[in-house]
A = this chain, B = another copy of it.
Amino acid sequence: MASTPPSHGQPHRTPPQQHGHVIPRHPRLDPLADRYAARTHGMKTSEIRALFSVVSRPEVVSLAGGMPAVTALPLDAVGSMIGELVSGMGAQTLQYGSGQGDPRLRERICDVMALEGITDASPSEVVVTVGSQQGLDLVTRVFCDPGDVILAEGPSYVGALGVFQAAEARVRHVPMDDDGLIPEALEQALIECRANGDRVKFLYTVPNYHNPGGVTLSEPRRQAIVDIADRYDLLVIEDNPYGLLGFDREPMRALRARDAQRVIYLGSFSKTFSPGLRVGWVLAPLAVREKLVLATEAQVLCPPSLTQYAVARYLDTQPWREQIKLFTELYRERRDATLESLDALMPPGTTWTRPDGGFYVWLKLPNGLDSKLMQPRAVNAHVAYVPGIGFYADGSGREYMRLSYCYPEPDQIREGVRRLARVIEAELDLHSTFDAVDTGTFRAVGRPTHTAETIVGPANSDRIED
């Protein structure tokens, strides 16, 4: 998820004053309040953006954001490469391009996907997008009417929940465990949806180094899920920004490599090269590809030409595989610092996932502590995380938090975990006099929706400032 600097104005904190008169602050005083589309009423600032002003303070160790370590790139080489693209090919790089994206880049994208076993993709089936975020938005717009149901892991990527909410789709979470999405739970959800007459449009899943779960779908489960998709005629959206960022092993075989008709694949260069270029893609069967191109033309005309040429040239001329290796070594060190500190410092009853790739650890608080309520105290202690509720569409997840190790240095991570452990201990002291410590093991992580497997409307459906 994007970790971004605080926006210029702080609309919900500072009284918005402009040109000498006070702008209405409360939605009831927004003169256009009765004019918005239905979808607009459900929109709310994400748990992550709400943290921006906090995490940018230098004294705070932020384990909240998901910013890649872009300074590990060879900036001089990339700079002169991009400069030359403009000087030498300005007529192309500064001009409008194809809505589907640059053909050369689409070829190179097929090479990248081959690393995950997708060897039958054709450039004509690829649509270049403004980050994979736009890819998911396009797919959702093409398939989902208001009220349609989307199955997604619980927890799920917060940016995906935002897309689904904007489409007025309903999300039904399917539990995960250490091995990723649980196939039996998926099948159960499908059966119940059929019984209810719900139109399930697709399963949205992040099989590798899940955000925020940190877990990876095991090999046998991959086949099981593809089999279920086949049996239930289910479309699967495979969102895979982290697949090449494994610490210990070769990339796993994508779901799309097992089923080219039912799986729509989303890829991104945000984590393997640069998020600031906003280059991602969708791989989809031709009929769907055509709809996606029409949808992206209506949305942005075409993706930026310069950034597409930059990525294609980077893949053509720079040692990008070695660079990914360098990134993963750096992230592995940070993961190690995180897990070692958690092992050493966390009070009993706290559990967490042990990622072997990607950016995130998913942590469960002991004794039913509430990560959202605890947040102000953590910020006071100069450590930030993202509360678990941001990753559920149904308001659950209060006992969880996401810790990102991608951006801070190992020493900062250790200090951040130390501060966090103290905050949790202090909370426990407050509660221990009357509650017993929860001794749940990690297998419980990711199953919080077991007791609440109802389908819920868009995430965070409260109005702003309500």
Contacts and interface: CB of A to CB of B under 8 A. Distances in A.
Interface of A: 1-9, 11, 16, 18-19, 23-24, 27, 30-33, 35-40, 43-46, 49, 67-68, 70-71, 73, 75-76, 78-80, 82-88, 90-100, 103, 106, 120, 122-125, 130-131, 133-134, 137, 141-145, 148, 159, 162-163, 165-166, 201, 235, 261, 270, 274-278, 285-291, 293-295, 297-307, 310, 464
Contacts of A123: 8
A466 to B, nearest CB: 14
B44 A294 contact: yes
Given A8-B124, A44-B294, A87-B76, A276 B304 contact: yes
A106 B162 contact: no
Contacts of A44: 294
A318 to B, nearest CB: 13
A300 B136 CA distance: 9
A340 to B, nearest CB: 27
A74 B302 CA distance: 24
A103 to B, nearest CB: 4
Contact of A97 (B11, B33, B73, B276): B276
A317 to B, nearest CB: 14
A37 B294 CA distance: 13
A201 B36 CA distance: 9
A427 B325 CA distance: 65
A141 B122 contact: no
Contacts of A276: 92-97, 304-306
A437 to B, nearest CB: 38
A30 B90 CA distance: 39
B91 A86 contact: no
12 contacts: A7-B98, A18-B286, A36-B142, A37-B143, A43-B294, A70-B91, A70-B94, A92-B276, A96-B270, A133-B299, A166-B298, A306-B310
Contact of A88 (B33, B79, B134, B464): B79
B159 A141 contact: no
Nearest to A68: B95
B287 A2 contact: no
Given A35-B143, A35-B201, A83-B82, A103 B278 contact: no
A130 to B, nearest CB: 4
A286 B43 contact: no
A278 B303 contact: yes
Contacts of A8: 98, 100, 103, 106, 123-124
A234 to B, nearest CB: 11
Contacts of A291: 36, 40, 43
Q: Considering the complex of A and B, which 9 residue pairs feature the smallest CB-CB distances, nearest first?
A: A83-B83, A79-B87, A276-B305, A9-B124, A79-B86, A75-B90, A30-B287, A94-B274, A2-B96
Given A35-B143, A166-B141, A278-B300, A290 B11 contact: yes
Contacts of A73: 90, 94
Contacts of A9: 122, 124, 286
A314 B429 CA distance: 57
A134 B37 contact: no
